């Protein structure tokens, strides 16, 4: 059976980008067709300046939102990365296979390290090695597929390279996975700045729709989205990035295709209104279910406890195998 692994990093409140690019696909499709693991990858939240209490709160919230989005813990394994030691154990071995040049070529490292330095901060070593930990997340479970948005496909490519290199040097150990981004909305852009990705750690929230935003806030953000000069509604990401982003969001909400959706609109106003309505309706059940789950923290905790137990059982044989293959003496 196909196995799937994916994760979300608790560095901020989950956004519409996270939902359309990843989480919705996990909940609506992936968990029904494959053996799936979905993780709140909290170790990754420590790679930039962080507040411990906030990371803890966001981790709990992200786990609750995965369940609120419809991920069924009877079908999929839902867990917190730091509860399973195998990730960190395997990450070190993969650091012995990866090179520093490979790490420095990662787009996210380049972007984030520039940002950190511009803020006057220093760059944590873990920011550089982050993609290796991500590779360990995936390879520990022998995942075949990794459903992620566009921004993570380079990391999955690196994961493939590391798996192949390890297998070649030390014998067949890892499954070589592939990224499976959604067809529509694999890169949702910021509504105020359609040249940049809608990201949870972006400075201003005006262009970001958060999953837990009230309907009125969602509506306002979508209606105020920056659009392009001209008035034609056309799907053209280069020439009309603002409108194309809205078309993509609307198409994703309706399960259609942005090009086809564009045909139905003669004005920006109507497109914005329909997009706002569609996003509000898309997020409504998630918000409602989240509210119920927040009232039952013991349930969420129990799901995470069982998830970690199951994840450990699944990861251990592969990680132990990698320890043996690379030449470490097994404990007596």
Site size toward ligand TYM, by CB under 6 A: 27
Q: Which is nearer to ligand TYM, 79 or 266 (CB)?
A: 79
Is-catalytic flag, 272? no
* Region near ligand TYM per CB under 6 A, out of 1-9, 161-169, 222-230, 256-264: 1-9
Q: Which of 66, 84, 132, 146 binds ligand TYM (CB under 6 A)?
A: 146
Stretch that binds ligand TYM, among 14-22, 226-234, 273-281, 308-316 (CB under 6 A): 14-22
Number of residue whose CB is nearest ligand TYM: 21
CB of 192 to ligand TYM, least distance (A): 13
Whether 273 is catalytic: no
7 binds ligand TYM (CB under 6 A): yes
Residue 6 is a binding residue for ligand TYM (CB under 6 A): yes
State the Cα–Cα distance between residues 226 and 242, nearest whole angstrom.
Answer: 6
Q: How far apart are CA 179 and CA 157, in angstroms?
A: 8
Could you say which of 24, 187, 221, 290 contacts ligand TYM (CB under 6 A)?
187
Q: Is 291 a catalytic residue?
A: no
> Which residues are part of a known binding site for ATP?
9-11, 17-18, 149-151, 188, 197-201
As annotated, the binding site includes 9-11, 17-18, 137, 149-151, 188, 197-201
Give catalytic residues, as residue numbers: 112, 197, 200
């Amino acid at each position: 059976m196909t196995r799937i692994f994916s994760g979300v990093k608790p560095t901020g409140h989950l956004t519409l980008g996270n939902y359309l690019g990843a989480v919705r696909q996990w909940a609506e499709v992936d968990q029904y067709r494959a053996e799936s693991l979905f993780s709140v990858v909290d170790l990754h939240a420590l790679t930039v300046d962080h507040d411990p209490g906030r990371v803890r709160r966001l981790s709990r919230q992200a786990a609750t939102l995965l369940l609120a989005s419809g991920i069924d813990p009877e079908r999929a394994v839902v867990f917190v990365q730091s509860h399973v030691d195998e990730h960190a154990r395997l990450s070190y071995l993969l650091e012995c296979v990866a090179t520093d040049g490979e790490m420095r070529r990662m787009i996210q490292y380049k972007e984030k390290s520039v940002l950190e330095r511009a803020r006057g901060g220093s760059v944590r070593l873990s920011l550089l090695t982050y993609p290796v930990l991500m590779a360990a997340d995936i390879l520990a479970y022998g995942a075949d597929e990794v459903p992620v948005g566009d921004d993570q496909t380079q990391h999955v490519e690196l994961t493939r390279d590391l798996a192949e290199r390890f297998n070649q040097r030390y014998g067949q150990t890892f499954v070589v996975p592939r990224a499976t981004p959604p067809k529509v909305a694999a890169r949702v852009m910021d509504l105020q700045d359609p040249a940049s990705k809608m990201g949870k750690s972006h400075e201003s929230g005006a262009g970001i729709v958060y999953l837990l935003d009230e309907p009125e806030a969602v509506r306002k953000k979508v209606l105020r989205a920056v659009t392009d000069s001209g008035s034609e509604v056309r799907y053209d990401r280069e020439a009309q990035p603002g409108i194309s982003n809205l078309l993509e969001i609307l198409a994703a909400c309706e399960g259609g295709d942005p090009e086809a959706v564009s045909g139905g609109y003669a004005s920006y106003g109507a497109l914005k209104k329909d997009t706002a309505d569609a996003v509000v309706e898309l997020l409504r059940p998630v918000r409602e279910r989240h509210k119920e789950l927040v009232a039952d923290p013991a349930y969420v905790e129990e799901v995470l406890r069982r998830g970690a137990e199951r994840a450990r059982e699944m990861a251990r044989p592969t990680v132990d195998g990698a320890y043996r293959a690379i030449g470490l003496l097994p404990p007596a």
